[in-house]
Amino acid sequence: MPPDSVFDITLCVDDLRDALSVHGITLPSLRVDLPSFAGAYRPPAGLVALGNCNAATARRLAAVLRDAGTVPGRPPLDVELPALPEALKGLRRTVRRYLGAPCSDVQLCVTELVTNVIRHVGEGVPVRVRVARTYGGRIRVEVTDPAGQALPVSLPAPPDAEEGRGLALVAAVALRWSVEQGAEGKTVWCELGADAAP
């Protein structure tokens, strides 16, 4: 796996900082500035200061904390399905039912992330879609597929193109988005504000 970029480390640190803050832990209270600390290592890629762990471990820690920070009594929506165009309509309906409110931006993100898998990984590939409300009021969308090396890239699309704007749309409606590579694939995720499904 290629080393983590400074941008990836910054996202990882932000994610960890957000996940810890849900539990009342702020990184300044640990007297550590993670980006500076990670940058003190050669190579700087992958090191984060909490327990001197690498970025993959920090991401797993953030995920555990984030899961602990989901709204109590409301487990995340977790759906496994083949990435097929005909599955998208039912998936959008399922997301709407789970959130219990109009949620066009969340549905857009789910649709675009699964469509990326269909177009760039392959039709029928198994995907896992996860949607969760967090304590901070945000809505987190994750789409996991088995193609860990096929990383999404947001590129400008020509004005007359009929496709190629999916990630630009996700970036426009989400607070942030990124991709995490794992041993068995990758997860593309985004977070939307509470107003995405009031």
pLDDT tens digits, 31-43: 455 555 444 444 4
Sheet holding 126-133, edge to edge: 77-82, 126-133, 139-145, 185-192, 176-182
Tens digit of each residue's pLDDT (9 = 90 or more) over 128-181: 999 998 767 789 999 999 987 777 766 665 555 556 568 889 999 999 998 988
| Residue appearing with tokens 């269909």 | 118
User: Which CATH superfamily is 77-196 part of?
Assistant: Histidine kinase-like ATPase, C-terminal domain (3.30.565.10)
Segment 94-110 shows an average pLDDT of 94
Query: Among residues 117, 128, 105, which one has the least CA distance to residue 190?
Result: 105
Task: Name the segment(s) of the chain with CATH classification 3.30.565.10.
Answer: 77-196
Q: What pLDDT is recorded for position 80?
A: 94
Provide mean pLDDT across the span 51-65: 65
